[in-house]
Amino acid sequence: MIPVIAFIAIQLAGIFLVPLMKVRWKGPVVLSVVLLNAMLSGYYAVLSLAGESFAVTLPGSWVTGPVTLQLDALSGWFLLTINAVFVTGGFYGMFYMKAYREQTNNLSLHGAVFILLHAALLSLCVVQNSIVFLVLWETMTLSAFLAVIFEHEKAATIRAGINYVIQSHVSIVFLMLGFIWVANKTGSYDFSAIRSYTATHDGVHSLALFLCFFIGFAIKAGFVPFHTWLPHAHPAAPSHISGIMSGVIIKIGIFGILRMLLLIQTDYSAVGFVILVFSVISGVYGVMLAIMQHNLKKLLAYHSIENIGIIGMGIGIGCIGLGSGSYLLAVLGFSGALLHTLNHALFKSLLFYTAGNVYQATHTLNVEQMGGLLKKMPQTAALFLVAAIAICGIPPFNGFVSEFLIYSGMYEGMQDAQLVSLVTIVFSVLGLATIGGLALLCFTKAFGVVFLGTPRHELRQPVHETSLGQLLPLYFIAGFIVLIGVFPQLFLSFLNRPVSLFTGALHAGISPLQGNVSGVMQSVSWAAWGFILLTAVLWWLRKRTVRNRKAAASPTWGCGYVAPTSKLQYTAGSFVRSYSKLFKPILTVKKEEEVGGVFPPEAHYESHPYDKAEKWLVDKPVKAFKRFMGCFLFLQNGKLQVYILYGILFIISIICIPMLYERLVAFIEFLKQL
């Protein structure tokens, strides 16, 4: 009870103090509150991963009934992930937001909602009451909305924020339906009622209930086709908020799905195949659209959809393992999903933070206007490269470890699979391999166009590296990315307790994983680091060998053209032109061309990728609704006499409708007597 009171007191004190502080102290106060939250919740999270569990029952109210707070190993894993991203994001944001220090009131609101957002996410991981859960979910949604629209003077930012908050409330509708369904049948709002209800009903009811919750959480997580808010909200937000949204806010949807899997007793094989299909589509579709983006943060946002698909594949494989009774398959799937949740939080937040450095240096996110930043921002470029290698699943970094677990689970699932299951898993393997290949293409383009070559556009001010304080949390994240890749067995041991919640067989499930799969990963990781070390040694030997030789400089053959300009470089669009032509039936690209005359002095060409899912699921319905409502515009004609007439008709209707209703009821009774 005391930790709960202390937690609430910390939030109230922080939210009260931030508006009272001078601008220079607002950031340190927010970071201090986040650190206190992280230390308090992190202490109990570590204990939960060691095998302890904590439960507190609060009195609640006559509406909610008793409110139970429970911290188990699953909650502990997500608490640590949330804290890691918020601590680094808060530290980075303290320096990033110095560019907006003139906006005192805006910074006060931003600091307060940052604290509130952190508190809501932590609370969602432990609360066990559906009404309180929905209140916290709404708190998280509105806090994130206010954080996203920090630059509210931009129309595009407001549109992105409204889009996010509307679709988040669609998510809440599905969650409410699921909770009301259970409360109506059991009379309880406690999460334990979900378990007791599904234990006494057939598989159809349980599966339908799970799908209701799955849609609600999938909207927040960004599964296709529920993803359309994500590519707009991530680029519109400040970079530290983008990193937090991609790192942990969408992961709360993953947490919700995993929590429901622990509560709802259903046909896990059917659930696994449903999740697997959604995940493969999300992963492939997300990376396909990411390749076409010219906005750096929008490119990263679509990669969040891709990685949510990879996490979902792990969950799907784990559910199939539970349904088939294969504990090794379940362990591989859930371990890969949980580890990739952490891994993605690390390398994606690092990518967004480095993108923020680039934005503040160049004042643009259009990759077509960048180039040659490696020489001017070498540390940012190196950190971006580390995160890019990790997100592509290349050893020896952390992305390889979690993806290898999911691959291993898929191959394990092929051993005794029936025909339908075998075909599904084979296509999942192909999907995951396709995701890896396309991700490599995408980040080759992103890093090459942004950091290599020469500048493609004349910038308004000189470009220089950001401050050490702003780079420090980025190095911390990069260190963890390397550490997980070098010592995967250490982090897999932390997954024993969370995974055992699903498998129910701690030692039988984890021992084969520790003995076989992690050993292979460790060998691959050491081999990759050995190759890197060998390369470094050879480079050092070459440098020492030629250091006393005088370098001879001479012009190279210019291929008949010796006046190169920046326009001769590959653009982001030309780099992936072959890819865009190959997948033209799936991808939509809008083109804008301005060419005047046969020999135009100037020409202009732009291409804008367009999400077909957004077109058919959001834009088309909205336009149809506008057309329908446009049919009633004649009612709003601006004439006072007509508005008075509307009022008179409304009053007459209020008086007459009850009288007509009574007459209708009497007439129906008369007919019944006949």
| 376 and 508 share one domain | yes
**Residue 665, in any domain of the structure:** yes
- C-alpha to C-alpha distances, 108 to 94, 105, 157, 162, 562, nearest whole angstrom: 12, 5, 19, 21, 56
The model's confidence at residue 40, banded by pLDDT at 50, 70 and 90, is: very high
Q: With pLDDT > 70 as the criterion, what percentage of the chain qualifies?
A: 95
Total domains in the fold of the chain: 2
DSSP letter, residue 589: E
**Residue 93, in any domain of the structure:** no
Token pair for 50: 């060691």
Report the pLDDT value the prediction gives residue 509, as an integer from 0 to 100: 42
The model's confidence at residue 560, banded by pLDDT at 50, 70 and 90, is: low
**Residue 227 reports pLDDT greater than 50:** yes
Instruction: Tell which of 541, 562, 597 closes a domain.
Output: 541
Q: How far apart are CA 144 and CA 141, in angstroms?
A: 5
- In tens, the pLDDT along 135-190 reads 999 999 999 999 999 999 899 999 999 999 999 999 999 999 999 999 999 989 99
| 308 and 427 share one domain | yes
Torsion-angle region of residue 51: left (phi > 0), alpha (psi -120 to 50) or beta?
Answer: left
Report the pLDDT value the prediction gives residue 379, as an integer from 0 to 100: 96
Q: How far apart are CA 452 and CA 570, in angstroms?
A: 11
Which of 113-127, 390-404, 505-519 bottoms out in mean pLDDT, i.e. has the lowest?
A: 505-519
339, 251 Cβ separation under 8 angstroms: no
**Residue 625, in any domain of the structure:** no
Report the pLDDT value the prediction gives residue 510, as an integer from 0 to 100: 45
**Residue 507 reports pLDDT greater than 60:** no
Report the pLDDT value the prediction gives residue 1, as an integer from 0 to 100: 67
Mean predicted lDDT score pLDDT of the chain: 88
- In tens, the pLDDT along 260-269 reads 999 998 889 9
For the segment 312-338, the average pLDDT, to the nearest whole number, is 91
- In tens, the pLDDT along 604-660 reads 777 778 888 888 888 888 889 888 888 877 777 777 888 888 888 889 888 888 888
Report the pLDDT value the prediction gives residue 674, as an integer from 0 to 100: 67
- In tens, the pLDDT along 441-497 reads 999 999 999 999 888 888 778 889 999 999 999 999 999 999 998 888 888 888 989
Angle at 288 between CA 230 and CA 420, to 5 degrees: 100
The model's confidence at residue 506, banded by pLDDT at 50, 70 and 90, is: very low
The upper half-sphere exposure of residue 499, i.e. CA atoms within 13 Å in the direction of its Cβ, equals 31
The model's confidence at residue 550, banded by pLDDT at 50, 70 and 90, is: confident
Compare 569 and 150 and report the one with higher pLDDT.
Answer: 150
Report the pLDDT value the prediction gives residue 516, as an integer from 0 to 100: 65
The model's confidence at residue 77, banded by pLDDT at 50, 70 and 90, is: very high
**Cβ neighbours for 235, distance < 8 A, ≥ 6 positions apart:** 160, 242, 295, 297, 298, 301, 365
Angle at 9 between CA 5 and CA 10, to 5 degrees: 120
The model's confidence at residue 256, banded by pLDDT at 50, 70 and 90, is: very high
For the segment 60-70, the average pLDDT, to the nearest whole number, is 87
Report the pLDDT value the prediction gives residue 2, as an integer from 0 to 100: 73
Instruction: Tell which of 485, 508, 541 closes a domain.
Output: 541
Helical residues (DSSP H) of 149-202, grouped into ranges: 155-186, 192-199
**Residue 505 reports pLDDT greater than 60:** no
Q: What DSSP string describes 215-275?
A: HHHHHHHT-TTS-TTHHHHHHHS-HHHHHHIIIIITHHHHHHHHHHHHH--S-HHHHHHHH
pTM exceeds cut of 0.75:
yes
**Residue 10 reports pLDDT greater than 60:** yes
| 649 and 509 share one domain | no
513, 356 Cβ separation under 8 angstroms: no
Judged on CB neighbours under 10 Å (0-12, 13-18, 19+), 20 is exposed
Instruction: Tell which of 492, 518, 541 closes a domain.
Output: 541
Which of 172-181, 301-310, 410-419 bottoms out in mean pLDDT, i.e. has the lowest?
A: 410-419
Range of the domain at 518: 277-541
The model's confidence at residue 513, banded by pLDDT at 50, 70 and 90, is: low
**Residue 65, in any domain of the structure:** no
Report the pLDDT value the prediction gives residue 556, as an integer from 0 to 100: 66
**Residue 565 reports pLDDT greater than 80:** no
**Residue 480, in any domain of the structure:** yes
Report which of 159, 264, 278 is spatially closest to residue 218, judged by C-alpha positions: 278
For the segment 205-221, the average pLDDT, to the nearest whole number, is 94
| 367 and 502 share one domain | yes
**Residue 213, in any domain of the structure:** no
Compare 597 and 253 and report the one with higher pLDDT.
Answer: 253
- C-alpha to C-alpha distances, 502 to 127, 230, 507, nearest whole angstrom: 19, 29, 13
| 637 and 537 share one domain | no
Q: How far apart are CA 284 and CA 281, in angstroms?
A: 5
**Residue 271, in any domain of the structure:** no
**Residue 89, in any domain of the structure:** no
| 387 and 504 share one domain | yes
| 524 and 644 share one domain | no
For the segment 21-25, the average pLDDT, to the nearest whole number, is 88
| 382 and 500 share one domain | yes
